[in-house]
């Protein structure tokens, strides 16, 4: 039995929540016996009809941790996959093979007591799976066994490409590190360009105010949260996926699955060099990498992409060809191997 030990799980929204939901479904589809121990649903949505057991734990953190440890000991799995080092603190003293995911952000603050907690927690894992080369670098000195496995996408059949001239699309939780303010600041110098923003988050108010300040309110659309089908339909309409990420204090983008979702639809990406985006976007091959903290660099790259249809087509085709390497079907064998399973014998591969 594989046990998923996680604080973050659907139907709550977020990157880690989505990733843990995808890996749970993929492991189940591969024929693995699976049980999920997750925190309570924070968003108020009903529990989905999962095809595997999902046990929820509420209450204060220490109480949740104690109850999870007791449930884990009772279930006696032969492998545990944890969403982050914080979940490892719920492990009982004797636990079989343990694999933990590392995303990047959670490793930036390592001073004082927090640093000691991270080190103690990671010491309980047999393997740390980093989402990018950047995150693997942050783990230097913290663990001897680190493997980079990029977070896979679980896309539908790519919708027909129907690019709208001048459409720049941004997708994700609205936070300062995403660099969407740089895209808005570039719009006055990009006549005919429009910016469609999909997602919600704490930075929305500032971005709306910035659009007004720059005089481009009529060229910036906030679409809010959309379902997967609508998301991919809108991606297919964009000429560029723009998320010129940068580091903001202790916040950084560890990888960036949205670049791969755009690639799946044949859309080239503009990404920031900071963090793990360089693993998702190959500079001058599947998109462009810039200094996301430099407004002129972002503006120049956007102008170059918008003004060169042949470049967009070349980058988009290459991105789409590469995106297949990041699907669950392509990546699941590596997760199974990390968990001590035989990738060749799983039901998904046998059926495929």
**pLDDT recorded at residue 347:** 53
**pLDDT recorded at residue 160:** 86
Residue 272's domain comprises 167-325
- Rounded average pLDDT over 185-201: 97
214 and 347 in a single domain? The answer is no
Determine, yes or no, domain membership for 157: no
| Per-residue pLDDT at 352 exceeds 70 | no
pLDDT tier, 136 (very low <50, low <70, confident <90, very high otherwise): very high
Determine, yes or no, domain membership for 161: no
126 and 186 in a single domain? The answer is no
295 and 336 in a single domain? The answer is no
- Rounded average pLDDT over 11-26: 90
| Per-residue pLDDT at 218 exceeds 80 | yes
pLDDT tier, 307 (very low <50, low <70, confident <90, very high otherwise): very high
| Per-residue pLDDT at 351 exceeds 50 | no
Q: Average pLDDT over the chain, rounded to whole?
A: 92
318 and 331 in a single domain? The answer is no
pLDDT tier, 344 (very low <50, low <70, confident <90, very high otherwise): low
140 and 219 in a single domain? The answer is no
Closest residue by Cα to residue 18 from 138, 169, 195, 154: 154
Q: How many domains does the chain have?
A: 2
320 and 335 in a single domain? The answer is no
Q: How far is the C-alpha of 182 from the C-alpha of 243, rounded, in Å?
A: 9
More confident residue, 347 or 264: 264
Q: How far is the C-alpha of 250 from the C-alpha of 106, rounded, in Å?
A: 9
More confident residue, 34 or 156: 34
Determine, yes or no, domain membership for 159: no
More confident residue, 46 or 351: 46
Question: Domain containing 236 — which CATH number?
Answer: 3.40.50.2000
238, two tokens: 């964009």
Neighbours of 200 (CB within 10 A): 15
Buried b (16+ CB within 10 A) or exposed e, 298-337: bbebbeebbeeeeebeebbebbbebbeebbbeebbbbbbe
How do residues 112-123 score in pLDDT, each as one tens digit?
888 899 999 999
Q: How far is the C-alpha of 332 from the C-alpha of 349, rounded, in Å?
A: 9
**pLDDT recorded at residue 157:** 86
Q: How far is the C-alpha of 272 from the C-alpha of 253, rounded, in Å?
A: 9
28, two tokens: 């189940």
Torsion of CA 213, 287, 296, 178, to 10 degrees: 50
210 and 129 in a single domain? The answer is no
Whether 109 contacts 250, CB under 8 Å: yes
How do residues 315-326 score in pLDDT, each as one tens digit?
999 999 999 999
| Per-residue pLDDT at 348 exceeds 60 | no
% helix / strand / coil in the chain, to the nearest 5? 40, 20, 40
Query: At 141, is the secondary structure helix, strand, or coil?
Result: coil
pLDDT tier, 158 (very low <50, low <70, confident <90, very high otherwise): confident
Percent of the residues in the chain that have a pLDDT greater than 70, as a whole number: 97
pLDDT tier, 346 (very low <50, low <70, confident <90, very high otherwise): low
Whether 32 contacts 4, CB under 8 Å: no
123 and 189 in a single domain? The answer is no
Return left, alpha or beta for 337; rule: phi > 0 is left, psi -120 to 50 is alpha, else beta: alpha
140 and 129 in a single domain? The answer is yes
Percent of the residues in the chain that have a pLDDT greater than 90, as a whole number: 79
136 and 285 in a single domain? The answer is no
């Amino acid at each position: 039995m594989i046990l998923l030990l996680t604080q973050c799980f659907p139907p709550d929204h977020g990157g880690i929540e989505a990733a843990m939901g995808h890996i749970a479904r993929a492991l189940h589809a591969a024929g693995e016996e699976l049980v999920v121990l997750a925190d309570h649903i924070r968003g108020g949505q009903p529990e989905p009809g999962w095809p595997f057991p999902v046990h929820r734990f509420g209450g204060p953190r220490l109480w949740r941790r104690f109850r999870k440890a007791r449930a884990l000991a009772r279930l006696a799995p032969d492998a545990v996959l944890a969403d982050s080092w914080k979940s490892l603190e719920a492990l009982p003293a004797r636990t079989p093979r343990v694999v933990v995911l590392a995303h990047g952000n959670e490793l930036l603050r390592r001073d004082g007591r927090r640093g000691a907690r991270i080190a103690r927690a990671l010491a309980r894992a047999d393997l740390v799976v980093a989402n990018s080369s950047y995150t693997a670098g942050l783990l230097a000195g913290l663990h001897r066994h680190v493997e980079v496995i990029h977070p896979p996408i679980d896309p539908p059949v790519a919708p027909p490409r129907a690019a709208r001239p001048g459409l720049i699309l941004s997708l994700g939780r609205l936070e300062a590190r995403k660099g969407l303010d740089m895209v808005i600041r570039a719009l006055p110098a990009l006549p005919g360009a429009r910016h469609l923003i999909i997602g919600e988050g704490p930075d929305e108010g500032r971005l709306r105010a910035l659009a007004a300040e720059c005089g481009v309110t009529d060229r910036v659309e906030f679409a809010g949260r959309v379902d997967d089908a609508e998301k991919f339909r809108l991606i297919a309409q964009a000429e560029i996926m723009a998320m010129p990420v940068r580091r903001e204090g202790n916040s950084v983008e560890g990888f960036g699955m949205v670049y791969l979702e755009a690639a799946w639809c044949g859309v080239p990406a503009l990404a920031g060099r900071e963090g793990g985006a360089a693993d998702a976007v190959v500079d001058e091959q599947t998109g462009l990498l810039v200094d996301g903290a430099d407004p002129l660099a972002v503006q120049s790259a956007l102008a170059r992409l918008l003004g060169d249809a042949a470049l967009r087509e070349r980058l988009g085709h290459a991105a789409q060809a590469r995106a297949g390497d990041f699907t669950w079907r392509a990546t699941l064998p590596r997760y199974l191997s990390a968990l001590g399973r035989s990738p060749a014998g799983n039901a998904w591969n046998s059926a495929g």
